[in-house]
Amino acid sequence: MKTQTFKNESLSTRVADYIRKEILLGGKFKRGQHLREVELAEKLDISRSTLREALRELEKQGLVHSVPRKGAYVSDFDHQDFEEIYQVRQFLETGIYRDLIEGKRLSADDFIKLKNMIDEMVALTRYEKNPQQKLMEFNERDVNFHQYLWERSDKKWFRALLQNIFFPLRMTMLHDLILENNMEESANTHYDLLEALQNGDLEGAVKAFKNHILFREQEGK
C-alpha cells in the first residue's frame, strides 16, 4: 500500500488525524509501537518539527506517550486500562442519565433526533463498505449519540471529564465493537437506552448502558 503524504495548510493537524485513525483502528500503528521520528517523517513526507507537533497533540489526547531520550510510543492500552476507562464512563454517564431524567432535560424533539441517530447507525451496519471505514463511521455516530446526551445534561464537570478522556474512550468503544463483531446488535442497544430515558427509568438506562459494554466480562474470562 502506498504511504499517504500530506501537503496542505493544517499539516500537523491532518498528520495527527491520520495517525490517530491508524491507532484507533490498530492499523499501521499498534499499541506500544515506537514511533521513530526520522523514519515516520520520511514516510509521511513531512518535516520532523511538523511530526513532533502532531505527536504532542496526540500525547495530550492520551494516545501517545513520550519516554525521555527514547522518543514517542503508542499508548499500550490493556484490559485493565479499558476496564478503568469504562468504570469512569459508567459513573459519569449514570450521573448524566440521572440529571437528564430528574431535570426532564430531553424534549420531544430531542427524542426524535436521538432515534434518528440510532436509525442511521442501524442503516450504516447494512451498507456495503470497506470494513475499516464502516467501523470508523459507526464509532463516530456512536460517540455523537452519547455526546448529544452529555451536552443536554447540566452536569458541566461530568461533561468536561468525559471530554478529557474522549480519545481513549473512543479506543475502548472500538475495541468493544471489534470484540462483539456485531454492529447491528450494538446499534440496537441504543434503542433500549433511549426508551428508558424516555420513560424516566434510570435503572433501565443503566442496564442498557451495561449491556452495551459486555466485552468486559467476555474478555475477562
How does DSSP assign the chain, residue by residue? -PPP---SSSHHHHHHHHHHHHHHHTSSS-TT-EE-HHHHHHHHT--HHHHHHHHHHHHHTTSEEEETTTEEEE----HHHHHHHHHHHHHHHHHHHHHHHHTT---HHHHHHHHHHHHHHHHHHTS---HHHHHHHHHHHHHHHHHHHHHHSS-HHHHHHHHHTHHHHHHHHHHHHHHH--HHHHHHHHHHHHHHHHTT-HHHHHHHHHHTTTHHHHHH-
| Per-residue pLDDT, 160 | 93
> 60 and 25 in contact (C-beta within 8 Å)?
no
Q: Tell me, what amino acid is at 103?
A: G
> 149 and 100 in contact (C-beta within 8 Å)?
yes
Domain locations in the chain?
11-74, 79-220
Distance of CA 43 to CAs 5, 11, 16, 39, Å? 8, 15, 14, 6
| Per-residue pLDDT, 2 | 45
**Homologous superfamily of 79-220 in CATH?**
GntR ligand-binding domain-like (1.20.120.530)
| Per-residue pLDDT, 127 | 85
Candidates 141, 139, 145; CA nearest to 23 is: 139
Model pTM score: 0.77
| Per-residue pLDDT, 202 | 96
| Per-residue pLDDT, 5 | 52
Class of domain 11-74: mainly alpha
pLDDT in tens, 126-181: 888 777 788 888 989 999 999 999 999 999 999 999 988 888 888 888 777 777 66
Identify the segments of the chain with pLDDT beneath 70: 1-9, 26-27, 180-181, 214-221
11-74 and 79-220, same CATH topology: no
| Per-residue pLDDT, 177 | 77
> Cell triple for residue 40?
515516520
Name residue, grid cell 424533539.
109
